[in-house]
Structure 1
């Protein structure tokens, strides 16, 4: 029975893998499942178990300048990739904003997009530093389930789309995500400068709102190929929808927990304080 299940799983794996983009064959270990899956397992372990255990009897590290450099570098990297992708697709590459099929061609434009997707995967992996900075400073409350799931999904989706759909309809969502990341990491950079900038960062909560809006807009856009045939596989559209719905639910839950319920608690406390004390 077990052998039969294993054989079926292997057949399914080979069937799914047969649809991958063969243009990236030989591009390096980072494109392969045998690298990315152990990397994600190691990341989750280090974030939730190994890292906190290592820091248990150690003092928090002072990483202010490293964090400043990382935040500005990440913002610049996302701005660069946004510009390059935009020029190759929607703003100079002839892409349709309504619906765009996948190419997998060997022309200059298609190969340039593929190469960008390959290098951008490294930017996604570098985002793991967010987590390790929190762990090294013993800010374990920041390493929430949302934080770890989000970073895991970001890297996994980057690898998945590189292998199966690195161009086409999915790219508008990627451009929006890169623009959001530029804003986010500029905020993180300003916040890391210290108390002098904090009075000007009143717009912090709107970052989560921006991310939620991002998910909704991209969800609406990625559903178009399901109803309108433009050469983008419906299977990939459904896969993207599932991933986006998960992200949307997680971020809405975070917003409710962080802002809505906090306001309710503060309101209740104010109401209690306002009541006349009984003698």
Structure 2
């Protein structure tokens, strides 16, 4: 689903005509516009699947993995994306979703290798780089949304979403920087990736 959403975002606008500037929402019934609506719905639905991570952690009593970053990330996205799908399924507000799906392809590849057991531990040396990729993601999203505020005549239909997305970019950037500091600078969460065949430190 994640890979499919990434490709659909590209085919629905970001690779077929969007300018990466002030792209407004297309409310027509054109095939392209309807494809974007379908893509946004799939992305919205995927947020509930990701929320199952938290539920599984609680059921398995993995309380050390239920951090503020994890809970905030997985609970706020389904709630806010309901408004996105309902009112603005397209345009510049979907850029961060396209970037996020690309990062999640890499992230879930890492999880898959973690789940395959200690034999594959030697292939998980890039854990730190995965966190770096997350940080780059939020920098890109924040810059993309920030430069739109410099445009004098942006007719995007729901400006409030611009403020929300930019705020999320900044908040998640700070939270992941804090994770980086604790995990790799202070060493409070050593980058050990395998413990009895499971991922010990999850990249959110």
TM-score by length of 2: 0.84
Which residue, 82, 92, 95 being the options, matches 1:159?
A: 82
Distance 1:234-1:227 versus aligned 2 partners, 3 A rule: farther
2:44 aligned with 1:121: yes
TM superposition shift of 1:161 = 1.3
Which residue, 57, 72, 85 being the options, matches 1:134?
A: 57
Which residue, 12, 18, 26 being the options, matches 1:95?
A: 18
2:114 aligned with 1:191: yes
Q: Which residue of 1 aligns with 2:126?
A: 203
Q: Which residue of 2 aligns with 1:83?
A: 7
Max radius of gyration: which structure? 1
C-alpha distance in structure 1 between counterparts of 2:56 and 2:115, whole Å: 12
Q: What are the ranges of 5 or more consecutive residues in structure 1 without an aligned counterpart?
A: 1-76, 266-279
C-alpha distance in structure 1 between counterparts of 2:29 and 2:150, whole Å: 28
Please list the CA deviations of residues 22-80 of structure 1 after superposition, one character each: whole Å capped at 9, or x if unmatched: xxxxxxxxxxxxxxxxxxxxxxxxxxxxxxxxxxxxxxxxxxxxxxxxxxxxxxx1101
Q: Which is richer in helix? A: 1
SS in 2 for 1:252: helix
TM superposition shift of 1:83 = 0.8
- What is the root-mean-square deviation in Å for CA atoms of aligned residues? 1.8
Q: What are the ranges of 5 or more consecutive residues in structure 2 without an aligned counterpart?
A: 191-204
Q: Which residue of 1 aligns with 2:178?
A: 253
C-alpha distance in structure 1 between counterparts of 2:26 and 2:154, whole Å: 11
SS in 1 for 2:37: helix
TM superposition shift of 1:122 = 1.4
TM superposition shift of 1:96 = 0.8
SS in 2 for 1:81: helix
SS in 2 for 1:262: coil
Please list the CA deviations of residues 66-120 of structure 1 after superposition, one character each: whole Å capped at 9, or x if unmatched: xxxxxxxxxxx1101111121111222x111233122222222212211221232
C-alpha distance in structure 1 between counterparts of 2:56 and 2:186, whole Å: 28
TM-score by length of 1: 0.63
